[in-house]
């Protein structure tokens, strides 16, 4: 009898172990363990050289594919890890238990993934990596890798965030929402991204649909509402948010609407997520075949703006046709209104010319400059020494290297120049020939 009981006990142990393995087979947490090993060693010395040695040997050098990927995607540097470790001791001490309990969430996470498979049969396998980063993402994806930034995603209201600087207010605000309890939702959101055909869309409208799709599909799969404050705010203030978005949807920068901060007129970040969410939700609600609608949402081709625009147009979410907003967008783009110190098109420019000023129709965002060469190629583009904005941002002074005689030159003042509302400059070509 005792042998039978022992045998049954062994079978149960084996079964439970196998079940746990199945549930966690595609969930990798090695880098969390290595981070805390390195963290403890770093605490034993104030010598920054020795600290860096521990960080590299015990954490970075042992990093999984996931750690390498998240560092690539979010451009994390070793020095940033050390700075964060040394500057926020209360934060790290208080979040440690949460990150070490990641295995407790494995079943819930796997359940979310399994539900996603059910609503999207063409699902392609992906692997989930729990990482420790430096506060630039709670979750992202690269190819078939789901990358969770545990230092953000696994916060809750018990985590001390008072040491974090103002630029990390988003982390402070998120911690109050206990995101660690919604890891399954976050994982499905990022899993959706691994199924989509591109990770960076063409313009604000496309990127908003890209992100909003993942948020909406995660709600369907988990049967839970998003805790993203942008979604709640957008639902309550749809017309106000939409009206503002309509003016900017075709800009080729997302940072007023996605991955931004709360320093805007709505006091809410990531409202582009809401716009995309609202668009795909309309598509889903109108569809009679829900499984087909999910497939259409996930498999949108973000390499073709016209495909995204046709999809958006079909939902009738916006109050006017998209062409109207495109026309308004073009009207609001800044232009070059003149040049001082050089006559564009001249065939007799002095070789002693070393400076010229480009004048803009609008005040430009002085963080961005963009100069390219024209149809004549790089060899015929004036070599820039410096480009300095005027105080009001309405002009920029180019200082160039000595020009060759009897030579054609061409350069393009490019769309990388933009206004503070991210409207890109209409490209302007400067072309001239020097005197013999």
Is beta strand 127-131 parallel, antiparallel or unpaired with respect to 27-28? Answer: parallel
Q: What is the dihedral of CA 251, 252, 258, 264, to 10 degrees?
A: -40
* DSSP codes of every residue in 282-311: HHHHH-S-HHHHHHHHHT--TT-HHHHHHH
Q: What is the pLDDT of residues 170-186, one digit of tens each?
A: 899 999 999 999 999 99
Query: Strand (E) positions, 241-342?
Result: 336-340
| CA distance linking residue 334 with residue 151, whole number of Å | 40
Please name the residues in contact with 171: beta carbons below 8 A apart, sequence gap of 6 or more: 135, 152, 155, 161, 164
What per-residue confidence (pLDDT) applies to 260? 81
Residue 112 half-sphere exposure toward CB, CA atoms < 13 A? 26
Q: Can you state the angle between helices 78-87 and 89-100, rounded to 10 degrees?
A: 110
What residue ranges do the domains of the chain occupy?
Answer: 26-195, 198-332, 336-433
What per-residue confidence (pLDDT) applies to 303? 87
| Closest by Cα among 81, 66, 103 to 36 | 81
| CA distance linking residue 219 with residue 184, whole number of Å | 10
For the domain spanning 336-433, the CATH number is 2.60.40.1220
Which tokens is 296 given?
């259409």
Give pLDDT < 50 ranges for the chain. 1-23
What per-residue confidence (pLDDT) applies to 262? 79
Q: What is the pLDDT of residues 385-403, one digit of tens each?
A: 999 999 999 999 999 999 9
What per-residue confidence (pLDDT) applies to 25? 65
What per-residue confidence (pLDDT) applies to 127? 94
What per-residue confidence (pLDDT) applies to 18? 38
What per-residue confidence (pLDDT) applies to 420? 86
Angle 31-33-38 (CA atoms, 0-180°, nearest 5)? 90
What per-residue confidence (pLDDT) applies to 436? 87
């Amino acid at each position: 009898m005792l042998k039978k009981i022992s045998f049954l006990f062994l079978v149960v142990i084996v079964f439970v172990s196998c079940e746990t393995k199945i549930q966690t087979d595609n969930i990798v947490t090695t880098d969390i363990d290595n981070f805390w090993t390195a963290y403890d060693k770093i605490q034993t010395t104030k010598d920054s050289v020795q600290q860096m040695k521990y960080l590299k040997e015990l954490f970075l050098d042992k990093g999984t594919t996931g750690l390498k990927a998240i560092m690539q995607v979010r451009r994390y540097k070793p020095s940033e890890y050390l700075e964060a470790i040394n500057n926020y001791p209360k934060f790290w001490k208080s979040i440690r238990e949460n990150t070490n309990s990641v295995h407790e969430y494995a079943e819930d996470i796997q359940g979310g993934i399994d539900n996603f498979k059910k609503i999207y049969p063409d699902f392609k396998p992906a692997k989930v990596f729990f990482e420790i980063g430096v506060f630039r993402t709670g979750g992202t994806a690269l190819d078939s890798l789901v990358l969770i930034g545990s230092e953000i995603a696994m916060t809750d209201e018990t985590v001390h965030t008072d040491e974090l600087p103002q630029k990390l207010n988003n982390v402070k605000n998120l911690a109050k929402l206990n995101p660690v309890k919604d890891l399954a939702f976050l994982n499905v959101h990022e899993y959706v991204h691994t199924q989509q055909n591109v990770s960076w869309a063409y313009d604000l409208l496309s990127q908003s649909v890209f992100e909003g799709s993942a948020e909406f599909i995660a709600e369907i799969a988990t049967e839970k509402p998003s805790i993203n404050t942008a979604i709640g705010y957008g639902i309550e203030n749809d017309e106000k948010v939409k009206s503002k978005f309509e003016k900017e949807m075709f800009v080729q920068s997302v940072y007023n609407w996605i991955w931004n901060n709360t320093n805007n007129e709505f006091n809410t970040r990531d409202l582009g997520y809401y716009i995309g969410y609202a668009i795909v939700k309309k598509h889903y609600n109108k569809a009679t075949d829900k499984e087909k609608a999910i497939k259409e949402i996930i498999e949108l081709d973000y390499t073709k703006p016209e495909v995204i625009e046709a999809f958006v147009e079909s939902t009738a979410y916006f109050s006017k046709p998209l062409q109207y907003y495109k026309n308004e967008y073009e009207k609001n783009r800044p232009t070059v209104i003149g040049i001082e110190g050089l006559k564009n098109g001249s065939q007799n420019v002095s070789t002693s010319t070393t400076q010229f000023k480009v004048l803009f129709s609008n005040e430009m965002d002085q963080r961005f400059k963009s100069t390219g060469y024209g149809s004549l190629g790089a060899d015929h583009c004036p070599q820039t020494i410096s480009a300095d904005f005027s105080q009001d941002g309405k002009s920029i002074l180019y200082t160039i290297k000595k020009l060759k005689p009897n030579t054609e030159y061409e350069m393009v003042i490019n769309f990388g120049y933009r206004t503070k509302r991210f409207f890109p400059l209409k490209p302007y070509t400067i072309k001239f020939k020097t005197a013999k």
